[in-house]
Amino acid sequence: MLRQILLLFALILSMTYQAPTQDRSYGRSVVMTERGIVATSHYLASQAGAQVLAQGGSAMDAAIAANAVLGVTEPMMNGIGGDLFLIYWDAKAGKLYGLNASGWAPRKLTIEFLAQHGITAMPHEGIHSVTVPGAVDGWSQAHKRFGRLPWKDLFTPAIYYAEHGYAVPEIVQYYWSDEEAKLQKTEEARRVFLPGGKVPELGSRFTNPDIARSLHLLAEKGRDAFYKGEIAQAIVRTSAAFGGTMELQDLADFSAEWVEPISINYRGWTIYELPPNVQGMAALEMLNIMSNFQPDKEGPKGTVELHKKIEAMKLAYADLYRYNADPRFGKVPVTGLLDKAYGAQRAAKINPDKADCNPGAGHPATSDTTYLAAVDKDGNIASLIQSNYSGFGSGMVVNGMGFALQNRGALFSLDASHPNALQPRKRPFHTIIPAFMERGDVHIGFGIMGGANQPLAHAQFVSNLVDYGMNIQGALEAPRFTVTGGQVSCDIVIESRVTPDVLQALRQKGHNLIVRAEYTAMMGRGQAVVHNSKTGMNSAASDPRADGTAEPEPAQFGK
């Protein structure tokens, strides 16, 4: 009996000892492999990218293939009618590249033109919100520089799912339902995206033979099919039918632009974003402000830490909305905004006991979206984001081609004195941002989609990793807060995993909190990949707020 009691006691001690390693605050495990990995917001896209890696493709090949599938399986989020931004890590060269593939306003779309039609505020849908889609040229330029497989082979998975169909998953079906009223407004949108006159049901099979045709044209004829050929002509005809201004020359003249990423140092890590016209500088400014405070002992879900981050976000966003614009049309004070001294100056405005609902912009010195990440076995990383902006963009579906045109023009200002004022061939303020961070041998491509949510989500992800030692999966899953409607105010959306006592303490400081579900999609849907150049190991994480996965490159058995 004594022996049995001692054995039972030893077993209990053993179980107690193991508990800390078994308990964790995040749900999914990090995916690890010496091969490549692709992480996207839809499992079919992740699988397609992983299969391309197995065929000898680079991270760029895998990213393009996965992105093309996402345009089919998440048509409200992204597609060939949208824009694209890329950060690419070339492991062999040890160099980081940035690509801005955001389109410009048509030559005849002006403030004066809209005024003549009685439009005094930039439309958020319809034909006058449409700018030139830049995604396809972005794919083309990135493939020419970093691709290994033939261009036409990258579209095979997307064409297959467009022709044979796929089961509509949970989050996609939710977003689809949310845009039904927009899709009902035009005959072509109803025909393509409301089969039988309604949103596809959860788990039903959806096919899109029209987008399959467009993808076949791209595969066989390259980017010129979109900007000069059959697809371009269909875009212009669709625009003209609704009184739009898009002309063939607007498409033919467009080219994506290679740009130099901007960066800051945050507690020993170098954090990279893309320069304006995107909002990446807000993520970096927010981190600069946060660097003036030490991580709080209560952790990332404590009152002190959340208050600090919310206030830092509002200061950075006030500057973003004041200064961000297309740098080809005016000077954006990026250097001043990212200066450490300016960050300290902005940090000094934070009152630890009270929320500031309208902080206003500072004075620096002058000088709906899909994100995916891919890493190949050689350590090259593609951090890519692509979007229509709103769900199904403008709501304008190109006749016979199966895709919606973006509504990025909605982010222009009609105030002629504003840096972001609408002008012909100008790129609007852009919300979508890919990101990258590194320290020593560790290189991380990451992104979290969701309109105005993105800079503050990036900063929270970086803080979770750097300040609190989380791994990439834990950092993605951790509770987050976000803004409402992109406005700088005390109205903050926050997930219910933050404890009631912290929520109450934040309210007492003046924050108006809107508490949502544990994993609300309002916080954006993120992905991350990591390459360790010392060990050669890759790892990846995928946000549970989406329908996606991180898929490792399958082994070729017997080879």
**In the block, which residue shows the tokens 């020593």?**
440
Q: What is the pLDDT of residue 3?
A: 58
**In the block, which residue shows the tokens 């201004």?**
245
Q: What is the pLDDT of residues 509-521, one digit of tens each?
A: 999 999 999 998 8
Rounded to an integer, the average pLDDT of 260-272 is: 96
Residue 364: is its pLDDT beyond 90?
no
Residue 102: is its pLDDT beyond 90?
yes
Residue 146: is its pLDDT beyond 80?
yes
Coil, strand, or helix at residue 396? coil
Q: Which of 33, 131, 186, 369 is catalytic?
A: 369
First to last CA, the chain: 57
Q: What is the pLDDT of residue 558?
A: 63
Residue 367: is its pLDDT beyond 90?
no
State whether CATH 1.10.246 applies to domain 280-323+332-365+452-524: yes
Share of the chain above pLDDT 90, in %: 82
535 noted as active-site residue:
no
What is the DSSP annotation of 20-79?
HHH--S-SSPPEEESS-EEEESBHHHHHHHHHHHHTT--HHHHHHHHHHHHHHHSTTT-S
Name beta bridge partners: 512.
491
Q: What is the pLDDT of residue 24?
A: 79
Name beta bridge partners: 166.
206
Residue 15: is its pLDDT beyond 50?
no
Measured in residues, the chain has a length of 559
Q: How confident is the model at residue 522 (pLDDT cuts 50, 70, 90)?
A: confident
Q: What is the pLDDT of residue 9?
A: 46
Coil, strand, or helix at residue 165? coil
Q: What is the pLDDT of residues 296-345, one digit of tens each?
A: 988 899 999 999 999 999 999 999 988 888 889 888 889 999 999 999 99
Residue 134: is its pLDDT beyond 80?
yes
Residue 13: is its pLDDT beyond 50?
no
Residue 505: is its pLDDT beyond 70?
yes
Rounded to an integer, the average pLDDT of 182-204 is: 97
Residue 468: is its pLDDT beyond 80?
yes
Residue 14: is its pLDDT beyond 50?
no
Q: Are 67 and 53 in contact (CB under 8 A)?
A: no
Cite the beta strand spans of 376-463 per DSSP E. Answer: 381-387, 435-439, 442-448
Q: How confident is the model at residue 2 (pLDDT cuts 50, 70, 90)?
A: low
Q: What is the pLDDT of residue 467?
A: 95
Q: How confident is the model at residue 1 (pLDDT cuts 50, 70, 90)?
A: low
**In the block, which residue shows the tokens 């130099």?**
260
State the CB neighbour count (10 A cutoff) for residue 389: 28
In angstroms, the CA 208 to CA 219 distance is 17
Region of poorest pLDDT, from 15-19, 49-53, 174-178, 446-450: 15-19
Rounded to an integer, the average pLDDT of 45-71 is: 97
Q: Are 488 and 359 in contact (CB under 8 A)?
A: yes
Q: pTM, whole model, 2 decimals?
A: 0.92
Q: What is the pLDDT of residue 541?
A: 96
Q: Are 284 and 264 in contact (CB under 8 A)?
A: yes
In angstroms, the CA 58 to CA 71 distance is 20
Q: How confident is the model at residue 22 (pLDDT cuts 50, 70, 90)?
A: low
Q: What is the pLDDT of residue 25?
A: 79
Q: What is the pLDDT of residue 342?
A: 92
Coil, strand, or helix at residue 547? strand
From the list 224, 276, 325, 250, the residue with the least C-alpha distance to 100 is: 276
Q: Where does CATH 1.10.246 sit in the chain?
A: 280-323+332-365+452-524
Q: Are 49 and 66 in contact (CB under 8 A)?
A: yes
Residue 354: is its pLDDT beyond 90?
yes
Q: How confident is the model at residue 358 (pLDDT cuts 50, 70, 90)?
A: confident
Phi first, then psi: give them for residue 382, nearest 5 degrees.
Answer: -110, 115
Mean pLDDT of all residues belonging to the chain: 92
Q: What is the pLDDT of residues 381-435, one digit of tens each?
A: 999 999 999 899 999 999 999 999 999 999 999 999 999 999 999 999 988 899 9
Q: How confident is the model at residue 92 (pLDDT cuts 50, 70, 90)?
A: very high
From the list 549, 533, 553, the residue with the least C-alpha distance to 541 is: 549
- The tokens of 187 are what? 């005959």
**Higher-confidence position of 35 and 326:** 35
Q: Are 409 and 396 in contact (CB under 8 A)?
A: no
Region of poorest pLDDT, from 265-269, 317-321, 457-461: 317-321
Using the Cα atoms of residue 164, residue 167, residue 172 and residue 177 in order, give the sign of their dihedral: positive
